[in-house]
Structure 1
């Protein structure tokens, strides 16, 4: 348990075993032994590890509760594997805190995601806009711009995590599941308009999964869904007068 925690915190901090060892004053091989639970750090070393990794010492003793499943990155070709590991570690840590709240909070505001629109196979990008319109109608959203997309998605059972990991320009979003609960990840470094579009795009992936004809490109379809969902044509015409 402690070994996995050390590894996750080190990955989230973007440190190699050697770099962490240099900060703490131990060898990289000893860090490796700690991470593989082949050796137990002393209380003094644990305090140094906590300081080096910017976590509280009790972090190392929390039981692992979260496993990310069905992870899908909207990454760019230049996204290094090290960055993706940092993002995933940050997401798991935030998800564990969310799960801890869920377990002790009666009537937790994020329910299970259970929306499956009754629509035929989507065979064109134009039809994607009709799907977006149906979602708006089913959720009684009207045609005006949506004021708070994070609150909306979480009210429908989609957990939104905002990651503060640097180099945010290297990836375009992440979607995964925790015990069947969908989560969507955006970056705190992005401007609001990019966060909103990414959230709507990832919603498109959830809604359109298994509904697209083989001739329809999924990424293009989700972009079309996001645009239509955020501001339908009718709403745009009304907005512009």
Structure 2
């Protein structure tokens, strides 16, 4: 992927503010540089002095190399962004800056390691029918080396093995303290095309099924919209793809029937790692559920309080690819050393490539949850019987 050459320190200064969520006044207070100096440098009304940039770098933890790095040239209209219409513009702008820097850094990490580019299928036709999207989901399963008709134990790991970088986005302050997660943003993705880097990012939440659907949705954007950036309804297409990837049509046609109760849907959730609501929509999309049956099921969900808190807990997945490559290149404590080379604040790098929870186990020790997503029912739903459901874990 090409980069934009000749980015000025002023442009990078603005990017740093956006990356860290700082106003000009806040950065002025932190660095001791005046608000007018910051504004004039950003607008190129004056040259950025080495002394001023160093003051900013020291106060924010950014390496000096950040101000001279060439930014990613991701076209804004090609960046796929799953968010609610109520999402704050300020936060959205910050998230876009975080993604752009994440892509630049991920690209460098993957290329340094000579990691293979993803062999994804891709759509080029202007008009895609639902059956076409189903077919692309099937082909994507093949590309990810997944069984054609079984639940995906760990979608994150399958994507990473295929060369797709996955990174969580956790907004932090300059000290690295986690700030409130945005509840209106879900994921972003971009693929430069054949032979290029692909990066999917997501906002980790408390529900593993939501995160899995977000990853599948963003994967759908890579497959369906990299070469079709102006599709009429890309979000609906990506949703269809995600459902088809997670629950293949033949199995959905067999498992999701018009007679299935909510308890039956909970069992299916424990099998597939997909929310009850998404399973209902899946059954409706393939024609197994009538409009009236779908409405009835959603009314029942509301009556039981399951719209906001479904039974059956889907275990969370954690990316490891970027961390593994960083560790190989820079050692067991890579963030500070790698930050200078990759021209990124260490706190941001830590967010992009977090240390896996099992990193302290040492070489040769297995990660019991590395390849299997565990599903269980929370204590508040003990009356729900899901014993014997594949993937269910007794507690």
Select the structure that is richer in strand: 1
Question: Are the equivalent residues in 1 in contact too, given 2:185–2:203 (CA < 8 A)?
Answer: no
| 1:206-221 equivalence runs, <5 A | 206-209=222-225, 217-221=233-237
Higher radius of gyration, 1 or 2: 2
Hey, what does 1:169 align to over in structure 2?
183
Contact 2:118 2:163 in 1 (8 A): yes
Match of 2:22 in 1: 15
Pair 131,113 (structure 1): closer, same or farther in 2 beyond 3 Å: closer
Higher relative contact order (CA 8 A, sep 6+): 1
Cα distance in 2 for partners of 1:218, 1:13 equals 30
Q: How many residues align?
A: 233
SS of match in other structure, 2:183: helix
Task: Tell me what 1:186 maps to.
Answer: 202
Matched, 1:25 2:39: no
Q: TM-score, normalised by structure 2?
A: 0.50
Q: Deviations over 1:201-227 (max 9, x none)?
A: 12222333478xx9x954333223212
Q: 1:133 aligns with which of 135, 138, 144?
A: 138
Shift in CA distance, 111/9, structure 1 to aligned 2, threshold 3 Å: same
Determine if contact 1:174/1:184 at 8 Å carries over to the other structure: yes
Question: Is the 8 Å Cα contact of residues 187 and 202 (structure 2) preserved in structure 1?
Answer: yes
How is 1:36-47 mapped onto 2 (pairs within 5 angstroms)? 36-37=43-44, 38-43=46-51, 45-47=52-54
From the superposition, tell whether residues 205 and 58 of structure 1 become closer, same or farther in structure 2 (CA, over 3 Å): closer
Corresponding position: 1:104 with 2:112: yes
| Offset of residue 137 of structure 1 | 4.3
Unaligned 5+ segments in structure 1 are none
Higher helix share: 1
The one of 71, 86, 89 equivalent to 2:79 is 71
Give the equivalent residue in structure 2 for 1:158.
164
Q: Name the Cα RMSD after superposition.
A: 3.3
Please tell me whether the aligned partners of residues 67 and 178 of structure 1 are also in contact (alpha carbons under 8 angstroms).
no
Residue 59 of structure 1: aligned partner = 66
Structure 1 residue 71: Cα displacement: 1.5
